Amino acid sequence: MTRVLLTALIHRALLLGGAWLALTSAALEALAPGAVAVAVAVWLSLRLLPPKHPFALWRLARHVPRFVAGSVVGGVDVARRAFSPDMRLNPGWLELPSDLPDGARVALGGELSLMPGTLSAGTEDGKLLVHLLDTDAGFDRAIPREAEEIAAIIGQARSARG
């Protein structure tokens, strides 16, 4: 068994086991069926979504506070615009060359969709299409750093690029 597969197995077992404990309030009589359910779920998840990259959980954990803070700023920004009389919208598109693998690119897109002023609409010709709420507000400046941190989580250290 490779290292990548083993770490994925452990992470997913912890995640799904934790979800089971939360759903059943960790009731004693639910532990035995839970063991079976979690084992089957982990097997199914490894079949449906085989791990392809190493995954650094601690990097992800370190990334979470930035993401939560960003999504709060994003919500506040959009609320201010919604309530202001002229909304100050200047929407436009940005095409972002990205060499992240599929799953990581979707994670980046999802994250950008919750961060201030950016919204991903999938890829076209290997470029991530990003909608900006206001092209003058500099929302796009945060993107390279997000991409870099997500690349680091799946073990792709590389130099920063736009």
Partner 1 sequence: MTVWLHIVAIVLLASLGGALWRVWRGRSQADRMMAAQLIGTSGVAVLIVLAALQDWTLLVVAFALALLAALAAVGFVTSQSPDGAGDPEEAHPPKGWRDRGRNG
Partner 2 sequence: MADLATYLLTGLGLVFFIAGTVGLVRFPDQFSRLHALTKGDNLGLGFIALGVAFQAESWAQLAMLALIWVLALLAAGTVAQLVARAALTEQDKP
Is 120 one of the binding residues for partner 2 (CB under 8 A)? yes
State which of residues 30, 56, 114, 142 lies at the interface with partner 2 (CB under 8 A): 114
Residue 109 binding target from partner 1, partner 2, none, CB below 5 to 8 Å by type: partner 2
Interface segment toward partner 2; rule CB under 8 A; list 1-9, 95-103, 119-127, 154-162: 119-127
Least Cα distance to 12 among 35, 48, 46, 56 occurs for 46
Is 109 one of the binding residues for partner 2 (CB under 8 A)? yes
Contact 116, 139 (CB under 8 A): yes
Of residues 51 and 117, the one with the C-beta less far from partner 2: 117
Side-chain half-sphere exposure of 54, counting CA atoms within 13 A: 9
| φ, ψ of residue 159 in degrees (nearest 5) | -75, 155
| 33-92 binders of partner 2 (CB under 8 A) | 71-72, 74-79, 81-83, 87, 89, 91
Edge-to-edge strands, sheet with 127-132:
92-97, 127-132, 118-124
Interface segment toward partner 1; rule CB under 8 A; list 37-45, 65-73, 90-98, 150-158: 90-98
- CA angle, 2 then 14 then 47, to 5°: 50
Is 106 one of the binding residues for partner 2 (CB under 8 A)? yes
